[in-house]
Amino acid sequence: MLAIRGMNDILPENIRAWQHVEHHACALLGAYGYEEMRPPMVERTELFRRSIGEVTDIVEKEMYTFDDRNGESLTLRPECTASLVRAAIQHGLLRTPGRRVWTMGPMFRYERPQKGRYRQFHQIDVEIFGVGGPSAEAELILLSRRLWTALGISGLALELNSLGSRAIQARYRTRLVEYFSAHASMLDADSARRMETNPLRILDSKNPSMQALIEEAPRITDQHDAQARAHLDQLLAMLDEAGVAYRLNPRLVRGLDYYTGTVFEWTTSELGAQDAVCGGGRYDNLVSEIGGPACPAIGFAIGLERLVALLETQSVELPAAVPHAWLASNGDRASILAHAVAESLRDAVPELRLVVDAVPGSFKAKLKRADRSGARIALLIGDEEARSGTIAVKDLRARVPQSMVSIDDLAGHVARNVLTQ
């Protein structure tokens, strides 16, 4: 039996990269005042339809939707902004303005799997509720930049756009429809359909034959009013002041309909077609649209598979978690003693990474495994040692003779010889 297409097993040899990302993200988010929360992975289908938008690829063709035994339509979350907003409303989190939250976990989209695009993938999702000004945008961008640095990743580029208010989007929609109608013969089938339903999505088309037409299309920034322009100008001033490089991209529309105002993406040229490592933006209407109070909000999500792939592409060195010591026993008495010795060592030296070899067999085979593990020393207990209360300590990395250490002195010996090197 194999895993489902587009859903990956994350294996022990890859887990260090994941933990590297999770560890730094968790520490950094905590340091900036963000609180973790964990909404469920399944929500009512209606929540995603209403928030992401009926006429988006996600809702039209990518959701894992099913009826539960009660006949209620549920969906595996394709993203979690909607879930966080739902939870924030439900639990009164929005009563404190400026609340910062984050979550991490798997998302599900029935996309065509390819490198960097999966049906189960993972995001770290970060949101700020109740801040309408560009300070929220600036903080999210600076926080993500700091995360790339902490992870040892370089070369990500920031793209920015502002979609403006719903009124601006409506005006822009009219301009776009006029433009694309005048070039109707050049539209592919998908774009022709989108003309009727969601013309902004045409700008998102990846079809090469559409690119020239899209390039010449009117720009949303031309529809901005004074408020939208001032908001964007202030944000750009903050980014300039903080030394963040960015590219304004008037074609950046994102794949979800809830955005109003600023949208942004961090992209890479090192992963092929799936180049967005992180994407987000402002969604000032969503909270009230799904039953909450008027509340501006903004956030982003990082695609962890893509970030982990980038760690590999850029050969980022990951902190090793090899054991310090490998304890092997041989013989009935010795194997009874082994765990007791290991536990008292762990009590005495809490930072010690110690593996007890549980595979039956000869010392020779156990020493081979110890060596392969990268451990610094092997601790060997045979029945003879068990009787005399001693342990043979073998340095696996230096050519020094094996020494016999009494069990009482073992913790001191290990701490001196292993942890200090």
Under the binding rule (CB under 6 A), the answer on residue 143 touching ligand HAM is no
- 363 touches 379 (CB < 8 A): no
Q: Which is nearer to ligand HAM, 34 or 121 (CB)?
A: 121
CB-neighbour burial class of residue 243 (10 A; exposed 0-12, middle 13-18, buried 19+): exposed
Q: Which residues contact 227 (CB under 8 A, 6 or more apart)?
A: 165
SS3 366: helix
99 lines the binding site for ligand HAM (CB under 6 A) = no
CB of 146 to ligand HAM, least distance (A): 18
Least Å from the CB of residue 205 to ligand HAM: 16
Does the protein bind ligand HAM through residue 366 (CB under 6 A)? Answer: no
| Window contacting ligand HAM (CB under 6 A); options: 109-117, 176-184, 189-197, 323-331 | 109-117
Q: Does 140 help bind ligand HAM (rule: CB under 6 A)?
A: no
Using CB under 6 A as the binding rule, whether residue 219 contacts ligand HAM is answered as no
Give me the residue whose beta carbon is nearest to ligand HAM: 303
User: Interface with ligand HAM includes 325 (CB under 6 A)?
Assistant: no
Please report whether residue 39 would count as binding ligand HAM according to CB under 6 A: no
Instruction: Look at residue 162 and give its three-state secondary structure.
Output: strand
Q: Is the separation of the CB atoms in 191 and 198 below 8 Å?
A: no
What character string, x for contact with ligand HAM (CB under 6 A) and - otherwise, covers 119-138? --x-x-x-x-----------
> Starting at the edge strand that comes first in sequence, how are the strands of the sheet with 403-406 ordered?
354-356, 325-330, 377-382, 390-395, 403-406
In this structure, what are the phi and psi dihedrals at residue 202, rounded to the nearest 5 degrees?
-60, -35
Tell me the C-alpha distance between 299 and 343, whole Å.
45
Residues touching ligand HAM, count (CB under 6 A): 25
Q: Which of 278, 162, 271 is nearest to 222 (CA)?
A: 162
300 contacts ligand HAM (rule: CB under 6 A):
yes
Token output for 243: 């030394």
Binding positions for ligand HAM, 258-297, rule CB under 6 A:
276-281
- Which residues form the interface with ligand HAM (CB under 6 A)? 79, 81, 109, 111, 116-118, 121, 123, 125, 127, 255-256, 276-281, 299-301, 303, 305-306
